[in-house]
Chains A and B, each alone.
Chain A
Amino acid sequence: MTEIVFPQDDGQPLTVDLRNPYLAALLGWLIPGAGHFYQRRRAKGALFCICVLSTFFFGLGLGRGRVVYASFDKADFRWQFVPQLACGVVTFPALVQKSITQNGGDPMWVLCERFPGDHPSDDFRFAKITPQNQDQKRGEATLKDGFMAPPAGPKVLQGNDVLAKWHFDYRHDFEMGTLFTVVAGLLNLMAIYDAFVGPAIITRAQKQRLEGAPEGS
């Protein structure tokens, strides 16, 4: 049990019981806000949970379930997944999809199918297969977009591939979705830190001392 006492401006010291801070940090990583619930700091736990998860899911929705994926190839190094991973279990489907698809397998939770990149017509390469254009299929081979799965098919640096098609189809929503999910991860890092060491409270007297002003002035 770790109890921290913070001095307050109103003179009444604030006591925060961090219980086991290592367990709280782990819980806070797995489920945003869970570390605070474990420490019985329920209001802050609910606040962190709502803020982080709503930001994450709003971003995921903007990116149509495609902006959170694990890919560390040379042609598609998704560094954004590292901060996204700070959101905890909600990003674990991306790890499952990575392990399933890394040897060429089809992803789980298929969102749509696409024409392969070797389609004779330029217009249909990597395009979504819809009831209107499915007669253009040549053979059975298709590329599948999976929920939180890396883009299927060959990856080309600055060329036409499924990732380029995602950017084209969803335009700024793809970028904004990535931004929201990355920020959600960074916010959860702050929440984890708060669960681990408590709030970074600075009293007025401490602030004045830091700024070099005489106390009581």
Chain B
Amino acid sequence: MLVSNFIWTSPVLALVTPQLRYAVPLVIAVSLVWGATRHERLREIVGHTIRSLIWVLTFVGIAFAAIFVSGYFTQ
């Protein structure tokens, strides 16, 4: 039971829920605009965008994992 609960609520499955899918275009747009305000040349903008994208996704992933794990202690 516990295993099946974990599978159904695992972060991997949660990431493909429609609500979290909305984050993808938003993070891409934010990273692109952020990169574009820090550079003038396209090559540098793209590089900064990729770095920002990784940074934001890592931050969101850590926050998600923390909230997800804390859910097990509050049940």
Contact = CB atoms under 8 A, between A and B. Distances in A.
Interface residues of A, number: 30
Interface string B30-48: 1011101111111001000
A16 interface: yes
B38 A199 contact: yes
A29 interface: no
Given A14-B40, A43-B42, A201-B38, A58 B25 contact: yes
Nearest to A177: B22
B25 to A, nearest CB: 7
Nearest to A193: B37
B67 interface: no
Contact residue range for chain B?
10 to 19
Contacts, number: 61
B26 interface: yes
B64 to A, nearest CB: 16
Contacts of A52: 29, 33
A144 to B, nearest CB: 29
B29 A44 contact: no
24 contacts: A44-B40, A48-B33, A51-B29, A51-B33, A54-B25, A55-B25, A55-B29, A58-B25, A172-B19, A180-B22, A183-B26, A183-B29, A190-B33, A190-B34, A190-B37, A191-B36, A191-B37, A194-B36, A198-B40, A199-B37, A199-B39, A199-B40, A200-B37, A201-B39
Interface of A: 6, 14, 16, 41, 43-44, 47-48, 51-52, 54-55, 58, 62, 172, 176, 179-180, 183-184, 187, 190-191, 193-194, 198-202
